[in-house]
Amino acid sequence: MNSEHISKSPDMTVRFGKEIAGFLGYGRIIALESQLGGGKTVLAKGIAAGLGVADTDEVTSPTFTLVNTYTGAKGDIYHIDLYRLRSSEDASAIGIEEIFSSGSSVIVEWAERARDLFPEQTVWITIEVLGPQERKITIDAYV
């Protein structure tokens, strides 16, 4: 499945994240790529909500903690941020491969920093900034 979606606001991005989660279901690895301030965490909030996280206020960028864990309707959801890491080796050192093999849902921001560690079935989502509120969201999914 490859698709493009235009979001004209953060609220639309959250709603689209919910739709993505509904389509993909639980247990998928979702890799997010975008520039700083591109909307990765906003989309992650929507995906988490779609996976049953009741309080999406707790869905924040794990830039400093590296990994946040939320409880969804069907199990744990790992939210990882690789922004502060320099290499795949750094990502491996935090246990990313074990998280990938856990069977849980995983959302990774700045995924391009460790592209070689992601399994083939990863859903890659690129967010392109078109304007102050407008984003083009491109999904490349192995379904």
Dist. CA 116–CA 88, nearest whole Å:
7
Q: In the structure encoding, which two tokens stand for residue 41, read together?
A: 């965490």
pLDDT given for residue 104 in this prediction: 97
Choice between 81 and 62, residue whose per-residue pLDDT is larger: 81
142 lies in a domain?
Answer: no
137 lies in a domain?
Answer: no
136 lies in a domain?
Answer: no
Q: What is the mean pLDDT of the segment spanning 76-96? A: 94
pLDDT given for residue 142 in this prediction: 64
pLDDT tens, 97-137?
Answer: 999 999 999 999 999 999 999 999 999 999 999 999 999 99
| Three-state DSSP state, 60 | coil
pLDDT given for residue 64 in this prediction: 85
Beta bridge partners of 137: 5, 127
Domain tally for the chain? Answer: 1
99 lies in a domain?
Answer: yes
138 lies in a domain?
Answer: no
48 closest CA partner among 21, 10, 11: 21
Residues of the domain holding 50? 2-131
Backbone angles phi, psi at 41, to 5 degrees: -70, -35
69 lies in a domain?
Answer: yes
- Distances in Å between the Cα of 110 and the Cα atoms of 78, 91, 116 are 14, 11, 13
Model confidence, pTM: 0.94
84 lies in a domain?
Answer: yes
pLDDT tens, 54-74?
Answer: 988 889 988 888 999 999 999
pLDDT given for residue 71 in this prediction: 95
CATH number at residue 46: 3.40.50.300
139 lies in a domain?
Answer: no
